[in-house]
Amino acid sequence: MAYRITRARSIAAGFVGLSFTTSGCIDGEIADDDGCAEFCGTDTYSDTGPYSEEGPYCSDYDCYTDEGYYPTTGYTDEGPFPDTGYDTGYDEGYYPTTGYTDTTTSTSSSTSIDTDTTLSTSTTGTDTDTGTGTGTGTGTDTGTGTDTGTGTDTDTGTGTTGDVDAFPPAGAFGDEIFGVQEVDLIGTWSLQWAPDNTTGDSILTIDDNGNFTWRETSADCSVDTLATGFLWVEPGQLVMHVDTWERQLPWDTLGVLGEEFPAPFRLRMTYALLGPNLGLAGPDHLTTDLYTGRAQLQEQSQGIYIAGKWSGEAELTAVPMGEQFAKVIVRDRFISTLDIEPGINPESTGIVVHDQVFWAADPPIGGPTIFENGNWTCLNGCPQPAGATLINGGNLYAYGPYAAYQRLMVFATGRSFKRDVDTDCP
């Protein structure tokens, strides 16, 4: 198949490695809990960040208040971001768009399907001539006589031969457009950077053809679940076509839509690959344990540091009951608006918004909208283009360029994946 193309492993040419060095820190590494990078120097950071403010908070999405905010203007289920699609992405002149279209949702509809040609490759039926004319032919429909009847033909057959793919075409793993990025993902990735017998393990393994296994084990190794399928890269996002999913669905579709969506389905998530760490934007139940990982792309830049708007998404595409084609079921958005620094110091206010829309409902149903403090302050003077920052108190993030996007991701065990770490379970 198209997504089974094998390529030799290489390193993305556009990657800039992360290296955070300061007094007492180890070059090239950041610790997540009580580690040097989080509290290097003498400054400490409170839950309210370097600045305090009284709501509401204003940004491109108007004002955020305690009454909530439900963004719908210009935002549809066609996704992946509220813009014109994949034509330009966040960075003008990004990837070539020739021959590339937005395949988030199928454009087929019940009024445009020809059941004889679209859904089948062969048709069986009966041809009935009800005419009363006379003929002198010597064979069935091959005689030399003339048929003067006024009969009608009735085709009662229904074609069923041929496979119908309910999903848009899969990406080609290792192709010319995204191949280097896809090859960079090959390997073993662990959500626990130092597995032990007190925490469960979540291990994502990606092979040379783009096939993946996502194994999760309990702390005592007594419970073991698998997710399997294949994946590929699209602009700024990782797409997983899931064939097997043995744990809870990442979204509560049963509670909201009254329907569960067993595999096959697709997960589309914004991702960041910075050094040996992989970040995914995902809902709370992406993993068995509560998932709070985040990955975002810079959509707008302000100031000289990291201020601006950062966006990430996580989306479920599946086939609803009674339908033939996949559609967007639900999408989460993670939007961080980091306000421009008021002075020369790399710190300022901000807000983080997590909203959710179930697009499979008619009309769409808005899930909870969660607001978090987005105050930010950089470590080590906010070096460019890559460095580390604290957002929302003491949450450590890493930022840096990769594959034409400036990316931002949570940098902590249990929240982002580290390369070449395996489970401690047999």
262/26: higher pLDDT: 262
334/139: higher pLDDT: 334
Residue 253's SS3 state is helix
Residue 333's SS3 state is strand
DSSP assignment letter at 413: B
Contact 301, 307 (CB under 8 A): yes
pTM of the model: 0.68
With CA atoms as reference, report the closest residue to 291 among 191, 172, 391: 191
Is the confidence at residue 20, as pLDDT, over 50?
A: no
**Residue 386 CB neighbours (<10 A):** 20
Is the confidence at residue 321, as pLDDT, over 70?
A: yes
When pLDDT is averaged across residues 394-419 and rounded to a whole number, the result is 97
Paired sense of beta strands 265-274 and 277-280, if any = antiparallel
Alpha-carbon span 284 to 291, nearest angstrom: 5
Question: Phi, psi (5° rounding) for residue 352?
Answer: -120, 130
pLDDT range class, residue 78, cuts 50, 70, 90: low
When pLDDT is averaged across residues 89-104 and rounded to a whole number, the result is 30
Alpha-carbon span 420 to 408, nearest angstrom: 21
- Residue range 230-241, pLDDT digits in tens: 999 999 999 999
Task: For the chain, state the CA radius of gyration.
Answer: 27
Alpha-carbon span 145 to 165, nearest angstrom: 47
- Residue range 122-169, pLDDT digits in tens: 333 434 444 444 444 444 444 444 444 444 443 333 332 233 489 999
pLDDT at 393: 87
- Residue range 255-286, pLDDT digits in tens: 999 999 999 999 999 999 999 999 999 999 99
Lowest mean pLDDT among 106-115, 157-166, 245-254: 106-115
- Residue range 168-223, pLDDT digits in tens: 999 999 999 999 999 999 999 999 999 998 999 999 999 999 999 999 999 999 99
Alpha-carbon span 179 to 3, nearest angstrom: 11
- The alpha carbon dihedral of 89, 301, 400, 316 has a sign of negative
The amino acid sitting at 213 is T
Q: Retrieve residue 6's tokens.
A: 């094998």
pLDDT at 76: 55
Is the confidence at residue 412, as pLDDT, over 60?
A: yes
- The alpha carbon dihedral of 277, 283, 288, 289 has a sign of positive
With CA atoms as reference, report the closest residue to 170 among 178, 162, 181: 178
Mean pLDDT for all residues in the chain = 73
How many whole angstroms from its chain centre is CA 93? Answer: 22
- The alpha carbon dihedral of 287, 47, 411, 425 has a sign of negative
- DSSP H or E segment with residue 179: helix 179-184
122/365: higher pLDDT: 365
Paired sense of beta strands 395-402 and 387-391, if any = antiparallel
Contact 273, 288 (CB under 8 A): no
pLDDT range class, residue 77, cuts 50, 70, 90: low
The amino acid sitting at 175 is D
Is the confidence at residue 14, as pLDDT, over 80?
A: no
227/8: higher pLDDT: 227
